[in-house]
Amino acid sequence: MSKYDSTILLNKTPATFMENAFLDGSILGNGRVGVAILGAISNEQILINHSALVHHGKNGVLQDVSDDFVTLRKKFNDGKMLEAEQVLEKSFIKKNCHLAPAQPKPMVKVKLDFYNTGVITNYERLTDMKNGELAVSFYADEKEQTVRRLSIAKSTDIIAYHAAKTNGKIRVTIQLQPCDTTSKFNQVKYENGYFYFSSRSENGRDYGLVMRLIVAGGTVNVAGTAVTLKDVTELTILAKPFVNADASTEFNKIKMELSLIKDNYNKLATRNAAPFKKAFEETSLELNTVKSDADFKELIDKTNNNELTPELLEQMWNFAKYLSLCLDGALLTPAGLWCADNNCDNGVAALDGAAQLLYAGAKSFTPDALLKLLDFYMNYESDLKKNAARVYGMRGYFVPRVTAMDSATFGAVDSATLHFIASSALAANMFYDYYLVTGDEKNLRSKIFPFMRSVFDFYSDFLKLDASGKYVTIPSYSPNATPGNLVAGRPLVNFALASSSTIDFLALQTLLNNLIAAAKLLNTAKDDVAVWEDMLNKIPTLSVNGDGCLKEYTNSVFVDKVENAGVMHGYGLFP
C-alpha cells in the first residue's frame, strides 16, 4: 500500500531533460508565475517564468484584402485550386503585412550547487497537487535526510523555497542565471542577503527578480555574483519576479516587501496551499484503486504496452485539475508557463484543438478562466470586426486561430490560418460551455450571448448554399491536415485549402444550438430562433469513409488522407 494518494505525482529520479521544463521538470504555478524544478541532486535548478513576459510577436495594421477574397472564391469555383490556395497569403505579403503571436520568454534560473557526501538513496521528487507544493527528498548514507520544498503565493507572486537536513549541515553555492544569455541588458548583483536580476524586453520595459536569502547558522562567502553557504542548518529563499516595469523601482519595492516577511516556510506554505486544497476538496475522482509507490513515468510507460491503469487515470485527472489551477486563462499553455526555450512554438494555445482541450479541463475546475479569455477578446472588439471585414468582407466578429501580440487581430496570415474559418464558432462555443458549467445567467445575458450573436453574423454572410440546398464553406481548412487529392498525378503537400471541412459544420451546428437554447432561456431574439432552426436543416449530413472513420470533408471535392495528424473532425467527441 502506498504512503501517497492520487494527488501526489512521484518521480524517483531527478529531472533528466535539464533544459526542458515541460518534458521532465516538476512544475508549479499561481496563474502568473510558473516555477519548475530541474537538474540533478547536487546541481538543482529552479526555473522561474512570468506569463506576461513574451517576445517574438509582430503587430501592425491588418490590411484590407477583402477584394482578393472574392478572387479566391472565383479561382476555386473555376477549378484553379492551387492558385486559390495562395491568393490571400500573397496579398498580405504584397502589402507587407506580417503578423505573429507573441511567444513566452523564459526569465531566469536559480542555480543551486549542493555539496553532498555519501551514497544517495531513497530519492523522491514530488508534486503535491492538493497542497500546491513541490518537494525533493533523499538520504545520504541512510542517515542524513535532505528535504527541499517550494510553494508560491497566489496573491503576491512570492516564491518560497526551503532546504534542510535532519542530521547535518548544508553547503551550497547559489547563482542567478538569465535564460536569455545573449541579452546585453542582463544585470545580476548580490548585496547584503539579496540577489537582484534585471533585463529588458522587446517592448523596452524591464523585467527581473529580487531574491532574499535567509540563513540559519554557518558562513556566507561572496565571490562576484556567486554566494556560497557553508555549515548552514537551514536555508529559506524568498523570491518575486516583475515584468514591464522599471527595474530600480521594483528592486526597492520588492526588497521592502520581502524584508517584512517574518513567517517561516511552513506558515507560508500552509497559506499558499489554500486555493489548491479548496479545489481538490470540492471535486474528486475515486476509482477504488490499490495505490502503489510506482514512479509516475513507470505508469505512463505501461501505456506503451496498452496497459492503462486506474491509478494513472486518477493521477492524470488530478493533474488536469492541478494545471487549471496553475494557469490563468489567457491562452497560455503549460508549455508556455514553464518553457525553458526562447523559441517555444507550443507556448500559445491555438483554437485548432489545443485551446479546446486545455479549457475542457479549466471549465470544470476553474471556469472563470473562460471569462478572462472572453474579456480579453472583448477588450479588442474592433479587431474582431476588422478580421471579419478586412479579410472576408463580412459583418460580425471573427476570432482567428491565433492572435497577434496585444490584440485580437490575426496572429498569422498564412493560408492555414486564413482558411480555418471554424475557429470563431469554436471560441464562442467555449464561452457558452462556461454557462453550462456555472449557470451564470448574468454573464450569459450581458457578455456571452451578445458575443455569440456577433460571431453568428459572420457566418450568416459567409455561408453559401449548393444546388441541393445545403451549406458549403469556401475557403475551408481542417487543421493539421492536407487533402488526399492528386493534382496532375501528384499528391498535395502542405496544402492549406479545402471546401466544407467537417469541423466547420460541427462548430456551426453547436453554435446554432447554443444560440437557440440561450435565446429561449433569456426569452429574447424570438424571431432569430426560427432563422437558426431553419439553418440547422441546411447543414450537410456527415458520413464515414471506407475505413469507417468520420470523413474530414463533407463534399466529394476533397478526399481524406488517413495519415493526417489533425483530429478536429472529431470535435463532437471532445470532452
- Encode pLDDT of 244-282 as tens digits: 999 999 999 999 999 999 999 999 999 999 999 998 998
What average pLDDT does the structure give for the chain?
92
Q: How do beta strands 54-55 and 103-104 pair?
A: antiparallel
Partner residues linked to 487 by β-bridges: 490
Tell me the CA distances in angstroms from 114 to 17, 36, 175, 229, one per residue in order: 19, 18, 12, 9
What is the reported pLDDT for 331? 65
Distance CA 45, CA 39 (A): 5
What is the reported pLDDT for 208? 98
- Encode pLDDT of 56-80 as tens digits: 888 889 999 999 999 999 999 999 9
Mean pLDDT of all residues in 291-308: 85
Percent of the chain residues topping a pLDDT of 70: 97
Which secondary structure element, helix H or strand E, spans residue 22, and what is its range?
A: helix 21-24
Q: Please name the amino acid found at residue 236.
A: T
Mean pLDDT of all residues in 447-452: 98
Quick one: which of 568, 483, 560 has its CA closest to 81?
Answer: 483
Distance CA 386, CA 62 (A): 8
**Residue ranges with strand state E in 19-131:** 26-29, 33-39, 43-50, 54-55, 103-104, 108-114, 120-128
Q: Please name the amino acid found at residue 435.
A: Y
Residue 40 pLDDT greater than 50, yes or no: yes
Tell me the CA distances in angstroms from 193 to 43, 263, 314, one per residue in order: 21, 17, 43
Quick one: which of 437, 423, 570, 443 has its CA closest to 511?
Answer: 423
Mean pLDDT of all residues in 49-58: 91
- Encode pLDDT of 192-245 as tens digits: 999 999 999 998 999 999 999 999 999 999 999 999 999 999 999 999 999 999
- Encode pLDDT of 104-136 as tens digits: 999 999 999 999 778 889 999 999 999 999 999
Check residues 487 and 11 and name the one with the higher pLDDT: 11
Q: How confident is the model at residue 1 (pLDDT cuts 50, 70, 90)?
A: very low
Residue 17 pLDDT greater than 60, yes or no: no
